[in-house]
């Protein structure tokens, strides 16, 4: 499906905020013949058997504690041997403000390789004001290179909430810009958790949200669930999204 015109026009005006999910990392790793677990496989790795991801994560916390969970997740998700993929390179070049739930450093390394001036923010830092002259990356769930910033589940979010003044900044940002989610699937809790926290911080249904549904078919149940919430969904992998966006530059 084609890239929504609202996303293209918002990006051209510097009014599109990009949210990047783990499926972008999965795409880069698998393209380089590596292995990166999607959510169902990650649950099996954490639990040692087939289990719902949320339950598997809760069990890992009981066994390993917070620091142990961080170390275990880094084994599976850190992407230390992976080079940034085409999506990461294009994302940092074409968007000035990028939020991500990925805890690897692929976006940062893509920015360095591109010679960009950029700054990285972590949970609890002020929400940055978009600056067309400078790339800003906000690590919503922290980064493996800074274990003290990591969060993995709603309980962690509650222990380290977004303060009220940050919620006001977030609300202004969401009202004034089009939000574009890439590298997520609406049937995985990664997307549910980040969306729910944004919705809570905003104080109601989020406006003008587009979601590029990554890799694979989505059931009618999940499709309708998110459409009912007001999301505008279309099917496209992360790299394909950027190829479509770059194609509009020549039109």
Instruction: For 170-187, write each residue's pLDDT tens digit.
Output: 888 888 999 999 999 999
Which domains are present in the chain?
Answer: 5-34+84-248 (3.40.50), 39-77 (no CATH)
pLDDT at 25 (0 to 100): 98
Q: pLDDT class for 52, splitting at 50, 70, 90? A: very high
**pLDDT greater than 90 at residue 26:** yes
Asked if residue 131 has pLDDT above 60, the reply is yes
The tokens describing 129, both together, are 């004001």
What pLDDT is recorded for position 1?
Answer: 64
pLDDT at 192: 95
Please state, in angstroms and rounded to a whole number, the distance separating the CA atoms of residues 236 and 232: 13
Residue 165 pLDDT class (50, 70, 90 cuts): low
Question: What's residue 72's pLDDT?
Answer: 97
The residues, any chain, with a CB within 8 Å of residue 250's CB and separated by 6 or more, are none
Query: Could you tell me whether strands 135-139 and 209-213 are parallel, antiparallel, or unpaired per DSSP bridges?
Result: unpaired
How large is the average pLDDT for residues 198-202? Answer: 80
What percent of the chain shows pLDDT beyond 70? Answer: 97
Chain centre to alpha carbon of residue 126: 18
84/106 Cα distance (integer angstroms): 5
Rg for the chain, CA atoms, rounded: 17
Handedness of CA 169, 170, 171, 172 (dihedral sign): positive
Cβ-Cβ contacts under 8 Å for 213 (sequence gap 6 or more):
184, 185, 186, 233, 234, 235, 236
Strands 178-184 and 118-122 come out as unpaired
User: What was the pLDDT predicted at 205?
Assistant: 75
Mean pLDDT over all residues of the chain? 92
Which of the four pLDDT bands, split at 50, 70 and 90, describes residue 109? very high
Is there a contact between 227 and 233 (Cβ–Cβ < 8 Å)?
A: yes
User: What's the pLDDT score for residue 161?
Assistant: 72
Q: Is 13 helix (H, G, I), strand (E, B) or coil?
A: coil
Q: pLDDT, tens digit, for every residue of 202-238?
A: 777 778 899 999 877 788 898 888 888 889 999 999 9
Q: State the residue for tokens 């003044």.
A: 165
pTM reported for the whole predicted model: 0.95
Higher local confidence (pLDDT), 202 or 126: 126
pLDDT-derived band at 164 (thresholds 50, 70, 90) equals low
Asked if 119 and 134 touch (Cβ cutoff 8 Å), the reply is: yes
Report residue 249 as tokens: 């530059």
């Amino acid at each position: 499906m084609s890239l929504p015109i609202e996303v293209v026009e918002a990006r051209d005006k510097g009014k599109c905020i990009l949210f990047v999910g783990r499926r972008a990392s999965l795409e880069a790793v698998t393209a380089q013949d590596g292995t990166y677990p999607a959510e169902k496989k990650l649950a099996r790795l954490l639990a040692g058997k087939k289990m719902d991801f949320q339950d598997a994560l809760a069990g890992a916390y009981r066994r390993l504690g917070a620091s142990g969970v961080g170390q275990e997740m880094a084994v599976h998700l850190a992407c230390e041997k992976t080079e940034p993929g085409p999506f990461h390179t294009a994302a940092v070049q074409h968007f000035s403000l990028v939020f991500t739930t990925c805890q690897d450093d692929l976006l940062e390394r893509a920015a360095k390789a591109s010679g960009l001036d950029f700054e990285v923010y972590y949970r609890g830092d002020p929400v940055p004001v978009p600056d067309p002259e400078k790339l800003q990356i906000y690590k919503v769930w922290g980064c493996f290179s800074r274990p003290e910033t990591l969060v993995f589940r709603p309980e962690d979010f509650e222990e380290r909430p977004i303060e009220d003044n940050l919620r006001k900044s977030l609300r202004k940002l969401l009202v004034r810009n089009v939000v574009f989610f890439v590298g997520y699937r609406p049937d995985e809790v990664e997307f549910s958790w980040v969306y729910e926290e944004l919705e809570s911080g905003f104080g109601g249904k989020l406006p003008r949200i587009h979601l590029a549904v990554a890799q694979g078919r989505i059931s009618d149940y999940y499709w309708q669930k998110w459409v009912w919430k007001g999301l505008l969904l279309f099917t496209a992998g992360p790299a394909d999204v950027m190829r479509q966006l770059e194609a509009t530059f020549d039109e």
